[in-house]
Amino acid sequence: MKTLRALLRNPQGAAGLALCSLVMLTAILGPAIAPNDPEAFHFGARFAAPSAEFPFGTDWYGRDLFSRILVGARSTVLLALLATVIGTALGAIIGVVSGYLGGMVDEAIMRVTDAVMAIPSLLFALMILAALGSSALNAVLAIGIAFTPGMARISRSVTLQVRSLDYVSAAKARGESLRWIVLAEILPNTIAPVIVEGTIRVAFAIMTLATLSFLGLGAQPPAPEWGLMIAEARDHLFRSPWPVVAPGAAIAIVAIGFNLLGDGLRDVLNPRTGDHA
């Protein structure tokens, strides 16, 4: 509650929270509030400019772009959230265990994360997709795995700060098990920085997911996934800009929303550690 109030006082945080709430509402209600059938062809109105009937215009089949974007919000936004959750959870566990155990285990894990981070994340996601095959869910998995090392480093560095605190020593002195100390004592205290980083990562995940679909390696036609919509619109690029502009703007708005929210959260939760990531 205190965090929420502080967040609302922060201009970036308030704007981000408003945008993200709007986006989440759209993702949940999308199909219910879409004015037209996203798959219905209106051959009389191909390449229409925005109008009262078609707020964002229509594509080459005369499909209503507004409805397609509303329906596509679910797959794009929720899948990006899922990818971030996978990467964050995996990374947090690896990072906390590595930081807590220290020594050779820590050294080995960190060298491997270094090597994975030496591969640009889009390239790494592409390699995983090459191995798994193209599909929307595989793209989610690929992004989640590509995010894991970065999250592992952040939660490790927080763990190193927390490890030497008194309450952890107290748990050790009580004779608690390793699993208890990691899960109940350390993990909850790494949550704040991990959530900040995770929120900013959602914006990356949206952009990467759309990029993978654009490259033909994520969602497959005729899904109204935003990146895929732009890829398909390339064949009709010079007839009308709306099939590219509408999903492009949708991606940008979601990414801006999560970037703002992440920056706002960072200011509110831990003003100092911001630039370490």
Partner 1 sequence: MSASFLLRRLAYLALTAFLVSLIVFGVTQLLPANAATMILGEYATPEALAALNQKLGLDQPALVQYGQWLSGAVQGDFGISLRTSQPVGPSIMSAFGRSALLAALSLALVCVIAIPLGVWAGTKRGGPTDLGLSVVSYLGVSLPEFVLATLLLAWLAGPAVGLFPASGYTPFSEDPLKALHHLALPVITLAIILTAHISRMVRSEMVDTLESDFVRAARLRGLSKRQVIYNHALRNSMLPAITVIALDVGYLIGGVIVVEEVFAFPGIGRQLILAIQNRDLPMLQAGALIMALTYALANLAADLAYAALDKRIQYK
Least distance in angstroms from the C-beta of 272 to partner 1: 13
Q: Is 256 in the site for partner 1 (CB under 8 A)?
A: yes
55 sits in the region (left: phi over 0; alpha: psi -120 to 50; else beta) called alpha
- Select the residue interacting with partner 1 from 42, 248, 267, 273 (CB under 8 A): 248
Report the candidate in 248, 252, 226, 198 with the shortest Cα–Cα distance to residue 19.
252
Cβ–Cβ < 8 Å for 259, 203: yes
Q: Is 259 in the site for partner 1 (CB under 8 A)?
A: yes
Count of residues in the chain: 277
- Select the residue interacting with partner 1 from 23, 79, 182, 255 (CB under 8 A): 255
Other C-beta atoms lying within 10 Å of the C-beta of residue 227:
26
Residue tagged 């390793």 (tokens): 178
Size of the site for partner 1 (CB under 8 A): 44
| Contact pattern for partner 1 over residues 131 through 170, marking x by CB under 8 A | xxx-------------------------------------
What type of residue is 173? Answer: A
3-state helix vs strand vs coil in the chain, percent to 5: 75, 0, 20
Cα–Cα distance measured from residue 150 to residue 61, given in angstroms and rounded to the nearest whole number = 42
Cα–Cα distance measured from residue 83 to residue 80, given in angstroms and rounded to the nearest whole number = 5
Least distance in angstroms from the C-beta of 126 to partner 1: 6
Q: Considering beta carbons, is residue 85 or 256 the nearer one to partner 1?
A: 256
Least distance in angstroms from the C-beta of 123 to partner 1: 5
Report the site for partner 1 in 207-246 (rule: CB under 8 A). Answer: 207-208, 210-211, 214-217, 227, 230, 233-234, 237-238, 241, 244-245
Least distance in angstroms from the C-beta of 210 to partner 1: 6
- Select the residue interacting with partner 1 from 70, 73, 86, 126 (CB under 8 A): 126
What sign for the dihedral angle of Cα 150, 153, 159, 161? negative
Q: Is 119 in the site for partner 1 (CB under 8 A)?
A: yes
Report the site for partner 1 in 50-109 (rule: CB under 8 A). Answer: none
